[in-house]
Amino acid sequence: MSDKKDDRFKLAVLGSPITHSLSPAIHRAAYQTLGFDWEYDAVELTGESLPAFLGALDRRWRGLSLTMPLKRDVVPLLDWADPLVELVGGANTVVVSEGHLRGYNTDVEGALRSFLDAGLSNLDSVWILGAGATAASLLVASIRMGAQSIEIFARTPSKAEPLKELGESLGATVTLRQWREATTATTATTAPTVIITTVPGGAMDLRFAEAVRTTSVLFDVAYDPWPSEIAASWYDAGGTVISGHDLLINQAIAQVRIFAAGTADVPLPHEADAIDAMRAAIEQPEGHNHS
């Protein structure tokens, strides 16, 4: 391995579909700013192919970011999992070390930082649209931000029972509702502090009244396309929106901490500059083109 490039650490984001992912753009921007000579790419991968892919990783690999639909699929394949992974049932971060796979969840931390960046210091009531792995992380983050009342809207509410059990185990009151009830049962006086949509492309078939859009903060974890239809409707009403870009950057900087230092708890030198570079990479049109 005389080629210097062969000595560089390799990292990647895995998922399907993956062509829309902005993770390569923001991770590359962060590593360049921090002085890490690391490669970071996107790999199209489904759950069926995940075991073989992980089994073939060599010593050049440093870490992986996981997106839909792999956050839950990877958990039984880990050699070690952070307690938060066990709690939410999903890992979005894997560190590769001496042939072992260590799993972490930075979606919760990313959500917490996004709430705080938006000026929210305490949540009262929260609605969550969707019931997947990301919803579990946003549920935990909401409860850690003080939410005591959480309503989960799903097309098949029975599939959200694990989320109800998770929320109640953490001391919150959790109610499961039919998807369409999100718009028919909402007024300005009953609107929650935050409405979180965790479904791909936003909650495209839901239309909220203007009184709700000006009362509740919208947290849309999707970012392709941006703004989503639901986010655009919030902007049109002059409402407050936390974007998927915010969550993406905040969970990604926690990943960078883990890849660099093995923990998300310690800020990196020049981290603020790295975050600025990550946001700039998203704002540049070429940031959407990944090879």
**150-179 pLDDT per residue, tens:** 999 999 999 999 999 999 999 999 999 999
Q: Give the CATH number for residue 214.
A: 3.40.50.720
**pLDDT score of 88:** 96
Q: Residue 284: inside a domain, yes or no? A: yes
Both 234 and 123 in one domain: the answer is yes
Q: Give the CATH number for residue 37.
A: 3.40.50.10860
**pLDDT score of 281:** 96
Percent of the chain with pLDDT over 70: 93
From 4, 5, 10, 71, the catalytic residue: 71
Q: Residue 252: inside a domain, yes or no? A: yes
Model confidence at 184, pLDDT cuts 50, 70, 90, reads confident
Q: Which residue shows structure tokens 């959480």?
A: 150
Q: Residue 112: inside a domain, yes or no? A: no
Q: Is residue 4 annotated as a catalytic residue, yes or no? A: no
**pLDDT score of 286:** 41
- Domain residue limits at 38: 4-106+247-288
Contacts of 17 (CB under 8 A, 6+ apart): 44
Give how many domains the chain has, as a whole number: 2
What the block records as the tokens of 91 is 């890992």
* Peptide linkage before 24 cis (omega within 30 of 0): no
**pLDDT score of 7:** 63
Tens digit of pLDDT for each residue in 201-246? 777 789 999 999 999 999 999 888 889 999 999 999 999 999 999 9
Both 124 and 87 in one domain: the answer is no
Both 208 and 143 in one domain: the answer is yes
Q: Residue 111: inside a domain, yes or no? A: no
Model confidence at 256, pLDDT cuts 50, 70, 90, reads very high
Both 152 and 172 in one domain: the answer is yes
Amino acid at 83: P
Q: Residue 114: inside a domain, yes or no? A: no
Percent helix / strand / coil, the chain, rounded to 5: 40, 20, 40
Both 231 and 255 in one domain: the answer is no
19 versus 253: the higher-pLDDT residue is: 253
**pLDDT score of 200:** 80
**pLDDT score of 224:** 83
Tens digit of pLDDT for each residue in 235-246? 999 999 999 999
Both 165 and 209 in one domain: the answer is yes
Contact predicate 63/87, CB 8 Å = no
